[in-house]
Chains A and B, each alone.
Chain A
């Protein structure tokens, strides 16, 4: 539901059913709406049985990578010898993405319930919910909800803590997030070891996204078959997904769609298309880190993990950034590069130096001082920044550069040829 808009008939409202309903934020209100029934049910089950249901449902990670959630849970040690941790990634910082924020703002108990179920499934005694530093309102709401839930004693033996980030994009990367919780600098770690073997404080850890966990109570309550049935295209992508649409559309906001829903219908039917008199030019379908789609590609895309890959991008976090014909793609891409240059943790050479250099070249092109070989240089730098670093921040910087130059080369060349009014940035 695209709060503050009314729910659109084409949406499938599961997670967002109570967006805008202030009463659902309270423990009482949540229980009245059937909340915490799934948790009570799950706590009576064997952990493995819970995992099996989630596995069967086909639920995949909503944070960006789309890794099957149930499968991830099975990576935890079979024999429990040490403390297990669950980390909830609520550090939603991907530009263009604002779905987890709404989940926490309106249905904090949905997240807490999903967290407790997941913790039970992986036999974790402690769960940390790592909330983005800038999320002041969600933080307050989550704190209140956690207080109420603790007072009601719904978690069984599971301890849930909120941990507040300090405003670093990279702390949304799972291993950086663990370092941050440990009180260290938020630098991604080299894998292996993977978190399930040695994660938070060196102990077995699973990390899940807010939206992923918010879906878990629904799956437990309504069954894996129901969730699996929510599928319009590829059977490997099931359930509903929140899409945060921003940019040049008439009704931006969060919309919950069944997997496989056409992107064209989302943009035109639900979001009202580009503003009057403008036409769609491009779209980034999965948050700023994924390749840009042209209009033709956008209109042919089906919104599920496989569908977006088929047209050359990735579903990512579901942050849909829309550009109409008034958008200056060179400027937009420079903005993205600048973001990554600012947020690079400075560990890996390619990322630390490459993101900044890329930004400088982009700014030079915009200022009308680009050189003809700059595009080739950008592509070569991007090649050196892809697949060679600890985490994918550097790849994320390279993705829009590569797809942007490939798909909107004309706009770059216009700057290089002096046919466009230079833009001063800095």
Chain B
């Protein structure tokens, strides 16, 4: 085994981990999930839920796997009678004041209390006829509700706000079984990253108002994606139900966003479900846009491109995939080419406790990818150049205020309020980020793939497919196979 590694056995399985590793993490490597609530790899260890009690050979009593570091030759047993009894005891204690309102709880189906009680809890309560603790629901912030009755006081939310967001507005108030999560009387849970407490909460105590009663966890399809909210490139999961994106959750990536996403990114999904989409290719016939099929639309674009020469301008969105951006460039390779993108700027909102993680001022996911492919930020100049260009191609930029005497080809998802794109000669319906797969390059130059979460509306196709079809039909060099 590798030098400098610690060797230990967990439930009979040998593992080798770096020194300083916690038993709970070493167990994951051995394929053993030690049940736990307060432990979270993105937060400081609290050791308070006492759920991860395991037996360690030669130790005088049970130890918590989340606060015990591995030692050479350690023998850990998670399934012995004392360990199981202890965990069953914790589950029983957690349940005595927990309302069994799973049927109306948003967490049901992805609730760690449900899961572990089902796995190793008691079938029946011994709490008898005592009344459960009751506290009313509290409004913590713009998107967070606190349901104290369901709270198991794991303090993940408190530690997130204190140690990761560095805005300690939450605490544990009161003592004993009267305890609850309190919020500073003059504060709101409105930190730009506060929404993470909802993901961190292992039970249904902290709820997102946006997702409240929207869907049941087991109805959701989950797709790996990349957040389009800014240039950070946070890894996310798009949760869809009935082909509608209903929730965005962080997908752990220690190099980019650890376990977190900001609230801007979390809410940046509603546009993916827009109903006013272009569903069929449109071509200008007798001065009017008419719906048609792909063959005619693509033939029209080919005719335009073959019949033109000189200057071409591409005005693109910094939210388009690198694949589409590269193919636009190739499609226009016979012209004297200019490409530019415009980018919406906002306020930067860092997550203080994680280095190099922030909601970035550049609110688009692929500006770096566009730049790498030769697109510039000189959008105004490109707009000016477009007026005299032979061909102007607009990619997914509905608000583009382009004026041109040449031919205008628009690949987009919506027609937008701006009339400019409506004047196009050909309008080709494309898919949005949730409906295709592709690649974004984040601000640090990391290329990240995103997957398709839902089908495209109508006849819409991924921009990369459309451009690829055109390139091969035109016999241009390097056509995608």
Interface residues of A (CB under 8 A from B): 168, 185, 190, 341-350, 352-357, 360, 371, 377, 381, 383-384, 387-390
Contacts and interface: CB of A to CB of B under 8 A. Distances in A.
Given A389-B50, A390-B48, A349 B93 contact: yes
Nearest to A342: B176
Contact of A349 (B94, B171, B174): B94
Given A346-B179, A352-B177, A377-B126, A384 B86 contact: yes
Contacts of A349: 48-51, 90, 93-94, 152-153
B179 A352 contact: yes
B67 A345 contact: no
B86 A388 contact: yes
B353 to A, nearest CB: 18
Contacts of B64: 190
A350 B176 contact: no
A383 B93 CA distance: 13
B48 A350 contact: no
Contact of B172 (A185, A353, A354): A185
B45 A190 contact: yes
B15 interface: no
- Lowest 8 A-B CB distances belong to which pairs? A384-B89, A346-B179, A356-B177, A353-B93, A344-B176, A190-B47, A347-B48, A387-B61
A343 B175 contact: yes
Given A346-B176, A355-B176, A190 B67 contact: yes
B223 interface: no
B385 interface: no
A360 B133 CA distance: 13
Interface of B: 45-51, 53, 61-62, 64, 67, 85-86, 89-90, 92-94, 96-97, 126-128, 130, 152-153, 155, 171-172, 174-179
B153 A346 contact: yes
A388 B53 contact: yes
A388 B50 contact: yes
B176 A388 contact: no
Contacts of B175: 168, 342-346
A393 B326 CA distance: 66
- B50, B153, B172 interface centre (most CB from chain A within 10 Å): B50
A352 B90 CA distance: 11
Contacts of B47: 190, 390
- B67, B92, B174 interface centre (most CB from chain A within 10 Å): B92
A343 B176 CA distance: 6
Nearest to A389: B50
B179 A350 contact: no
Nearest to A374: B128
Contacts of B97: 353
Contacts of A388: 50, 53, 61-62, 86, 89
B48 A348 contact: yes
A356 B48 contact: no
A214 B187 CA distance: 46
A346 B180 CA distance: 9
A350 B153 CA distance: 12
Contacts of A389: 50
Contacts of B130: 357, 360
Given A341-B177, A387-B62, 16 more contacts: A190-B46, A345-B175, A346-B179, A347-B46, A347-B153, A349-B93, A349-B152, A353-B93, A353-B96, A356-B177, A357-B93, A357-B96, A381-B89, A383-B89, A384-B90, A388-B50
A387 B172 CA distance: 24
A381 B93 CA distance: 9
B467 to A, nearest CB: 58
A389 B62 CA distance: 10
Nearest to A191: B67
Contacts of B172: 185, 346-347
A238 B168 CA distance: 48
B179 A354 contact: no
Contacts of A360: 130
B455 to A, nearest CB: 46
A350 B89 contact: yes
A371 B93 CA distance: 20
A258 B383 CA distance: 97
A350 B67 contact: no
- A343, A360, A388 interface centre (most CB from chain B within 10 Å): A388
Nearest to A355: B176
A346 B93 contact: no
Contacts of B67: 190
A342 B178 CA distance: 9
- B93, B96, B155, B174 interface centre (most CB from chain A within 10 Å): B93
B94 A353 contact: yes
A272 to B, nearest CB: 38
Contacts of A348: 48-50
Nearest to A390: B47
A353 B130 CA distance: 13
A371 B51 CA distance: 29
A191 to B, nearest CB: 9
A117 to B, nearest CB: 34
Contacts of B126: 377
B127 A357 contact: yes
Contacts of B53: 388
Contacts of A383: 89
A389 B86 CA distance: 11
B177 A350 contact: no
A190 B66 CA distance: 11
Contact of A350 (B46, B50, B61, B155): B50
17 contacts: A342-B175, A343-B175, A343-B176, A346-B174, A347-B48, A347-B155, A348-B49, A349-B51, A350-B89, A350-B93, A352-B177, A357-B177, A360-B130, A383-B89, A387-B61, A388-B61, A388-B86
Contacts of A350: 50, 89-90, 93
A355 B172 CA distance: 18
Contacts of B127: 357
Contacts of B174: 346
Contacts of A343: 175-176
A360 B130 CA distance: 8
Contacts of B50: 348-350, 388-389
Contacts of A342: 175-176
A371 B47 CA distance: 35
Contacts of B93: 349-350, 352-354, 357, 384
